Amino acid sequence: MCGFVGYLGGGETQLMAPVLERMADRIRHRGPDDADYYIDNDIALGFRRLSIIDLEGGRQPILNENKTKVLVFNGEIYNYRVLREELIRLGHIFTTKSDSEVLLHGFEEYGAELLCKLRGMFAFVIWDKEAKTLFGARDYFGIKPFYYAQMQNTFLFGSEIKSFVEHPHFTMELNERALESYLSFQYSPGTETFFKNVWKLPPAHYFIFKDGKMDIHRYWSPVFSAEEDKSLDYWVDEIEKVFDDSVKAHKIADVEVGSFLSSGVDSSYVACSADVDKTFTVGFDNGTKYNEISYAKELSERIPVKNFSKTITPEEFWGNFAKIQYHMDEPLADPSAAALYFVCNTAAQHVKVVMSGEGADEIFGGYNIYKEPLAVPLYDKIPFPIRRLIGRIAEHLPKRAGINFLIRRGKRLEERFIGNAYMFTEKERKRLLKIKTDAPSPEALVKPFYDKVRDKDAVTKMQYVDLHAWMVGDILLKADKMSMANSLEVRVPFLDKEIMAVAERIPTKYRVNGENTKYAMRKAALRRMPEKWADKKKLGFPVPTRVWLTEDKYYGIVREKFLGETAEKYFNTELLLKLLDDHKNGKADNSRRIWTVYTFLVWYDQFFDEETLQSYLDKTA
């Protein structure tokens, strides 16, 4: 796990080196073990390394035999040994034992077709000196990030946006369209970022950059095609077999591998299958609802492995929140990101690599909201225009049990579900904002995903949307950025293309039903762990922000931010204060909406307040 930076164009060779080194220094946290650079008349490539495989020989950038191609790569290729042997038989000469070099020779041999041969997580570029062409790619699920920008005849790219700040051609300007979309999703959806003219390469895509033009292609896509003729036992056997194989592949390393562990089935299944020596857990001192440490310790004793845990204090959480948003690159209003920061910090004191349970919910159908289309099926027999009318009437009724059901079922799935978070509707966010933008509606942003699965059932549609939006924009963003902030590699064995090949064939009834979510996967997990963990209801990573925002101290911190200069610039602050006061006075639970706005305001200061940003520059100097 590492990080890279680079740019095409932008000045004389002797002037490129200091700029490149400053860019790489800005992401030193991604690779504190080593740094190296490549510069020619056209391109500058920088690399920061966290040594995991081939500790002595795996330095980057890596060049091929005749020095015509050069690679920088972030990630892990779990089937690199098989590919290496295949390439050697075809006549390629390797100078290292690293997985990185497989990409370079594999691209020489197969071109873009190499991507579908890979098993792993990756973002990389290969520069062809002779053809003056840059090839880049991002892994199937978007586990590893890739950003790019084209400014003043310079093409910038890398693992984190913050590295671009060091380049003299980079213009830092807030993308107000992204702010408006963020208010609905709680993260930055799509390919735009919060920085104008900075973009994200989508998962499962590659690009070719030549003569100033970017040509982007998709190389892989999940295809849900349920096989209804097979039994539950068949699918449980298949899940067990493919998961064990994935865990084994994800353990390849020349350093010790540990595992995160919460009370949920996903991380528990990983920990029980991975044969690690150490597990890591965090919680909050706000009662059992916010603290899973006892569950984790009990399971660790049963496995048995040593569990390292930490109770996060409110002072630590709030005191580190600004730094967390700086490391995130873009604002992410998921409070669990901060909890993930602390569990990564705890793990990094003992290991360099950990396994985690991300992706199981999206692949196997784990979120509780996936059960919504199955609830009260008779209600759906009422003609939709009538349900629509009932829903609109219900919107004006006092909020109580059952009213939200009527409101939501008065909308089509494509209207009401944009992912696991839906903070502000398009109408609400326009009332909240002072600025006017042409940001697309939430429905428009997820429509391409719905279009791909228009013939599937509602649960499959929701999973497909989450796989392409929520998982990439929230789950995997925080996993990468919070682990790398602590120089820790996180591996996610559920997000494996072989597991996906099994999961997309499982009938909906074995993914989500009236009994539970992730139904077949839980049956597989039950073969490894007691029912107490295998059948535990999905909780997410509970963080007590709802409670804190009713306390004077933290209410005051947020209120001050809501009355600040940035809030005044972008928001109708009287509406912000009403959200905050209604929550404190118990009139409504506005905690997630409040946190969405507060997160943006904190993030904004990290990049657009010159003094604050300079302090980060000084720390990396």
pLDDT of residue 219: 98
pLDDT > 80? residue 611: no
Residue type, 456: K
Q: 80-94, 128-142, 250-264, 363-377: which range is least confident on average?
A: 250-264
- Read off the pLDDT band of 613 (50, 70, 90): confident
pLDDT of residue 142: 97
pLDDT of residue 117: 97
Specify the higher pLDDT residue, 6 or 528. Answer: 6
Whether 96 contacts 102, CB under 8 Å: no
Q: What integer is the mean pLDDT of 224-243? A: 97
User: Nearest-CA neighbor of 512 among 363, 392, 621?
Assistant: 363
Q: What integer is the mean pLDDT of 247-253? A: 91
**Distance in angstroms (rounded) separating the CA atoms of residues 300 and 280:** 10
Q: Quick one: 390 exposed, middle or buried, by C-beta within 10 A (0-12, 13-18, 19+)? A: middle
**Distance in angstroms (rounded) separating the CA atoms of residues 159 and 49:** 12
Q: 382-391, 393-402, 589-598: which range is least confident on average?
A: 393-402
pLDDT > 70? residue 621: no
Specify the higher pLDDT residue, 397 or 218. Answer: 218
**Distance in angstroms (rounded) separating the CA atoms of residues 593 and 411:** 21
Q: What integer is the mean pLDDT of 441-470? A: 97
pLDDT > 80? residue 396: yes
User: Nearest-CA neighbor of 370 among 423, 402, 417?
Assistant: 417
Domains in the chain: ranges and CATH = 2-218 (3.60.20.10), 549-620 (no CATH)
pLDDT > 60? residue 34: yes
DSSP 64-99: -TTS-EEEEEEEEETTHHHHHHHHHHTT---S--SS
pLDDT of residue 400: 78
- Read off the pLDDT band of 2 (50, 70, 90): confident
CA distances from residue 500 to 113, 219, 508, 509 in whole angstroms, order as listed? 19, 15, 14, 17
pLDDT of residue 65: 86
**φ, ψ dihedrals at 175, nearest 5°:** -90, 100
Specify the higher pLDDT residue, 288 or 221. Answer: 221
Residue with tokens 């600025």: 435
- Read off the pLDDT band of 447 (50, 70, 90): very high
- Read off the pLDDT band of 464 (50, 70, 90): very high
pLDDT > 60? residue 237: yes
- Read off the pLDDT band of 176 (50, 70, 90): very high
Q: How far is CA 501 from the centre of its chain?
A: 21
Pairing of β 69-77 and β 62-63: antiparallel
pLDDT of residue 539: 62
Whether 372 contacts 408, CB under 8 Å: yes
Specify the higher pLDDT residue, 288 or 265. Answer: 265
Catalytic residues: 2
User: Nearest-CA neighbor of 488 among 143, 257, 296, 203?
Assistant: 257
pLDDT > 70? residue 141: yes
Q: 31-35, 54-58, 395-399, 437-441: which range is least confident on average?
A: 54-58
- DSSP code for 32: B
pLDDT > 90? residue 292: no
pLDDT of residue 329: 97
Q: What is the pLDDT of residues 335-389, one digit of tens each?
A: 999 999 999 999 999 999 999 999 999 999 999 999 999 988 889 899 999 999 9
Q: What is the pLDDT of residues 112-133, one digit of tens each?
A: 999 999 999 999 999 999 999 9
pLDDT > 80? residue 12: no
Burial 131-156 (b: 16+ CB within 10 A, else e): eeebbbbbbbbbbbbbbbbbbeebbb
Beta carbons within 8 Å of 315's beta carbon, 6+ residues apart? none
Q: Which residues pair with 192 in a beta bridge?
A: 199
Q: What integer is the mean pLDDT of 546-569? A: 97
Instruction: Report percent pLDDT > 90 for the chain.
Output: 79
pLDDT > 80? residue 612: no
pLDDT > 60? residue 54: no
CA distances from residue 436 to 373, 412, 431 in whole angstroms, order as listed? 35, 27, 10
pLDDT > 70? residue 445: yes
pLDDT of residue 287: 60
Specify the higher pLDDT residue, 609 or 571. Answer: 571
Whether 499 contacts 246, CB under 8 Å: yes
Q: What is the pLDDT of residues 404-439, one digit of tens each?
A: 889 989 999 999 999 989 999 999 999 999 999 999
Pairing of β 2-8 and β 154-158: antiparallel
Mean pLDDT taken over the chain: 92
Whether 510 contacts 520, CB under 8 Å: yes
Whether 562 contacts 432, CB under 8 Å: no
Q: 184-188, 303-307, 344-348, 460-464: which range is least confident on average?
A: 303-307
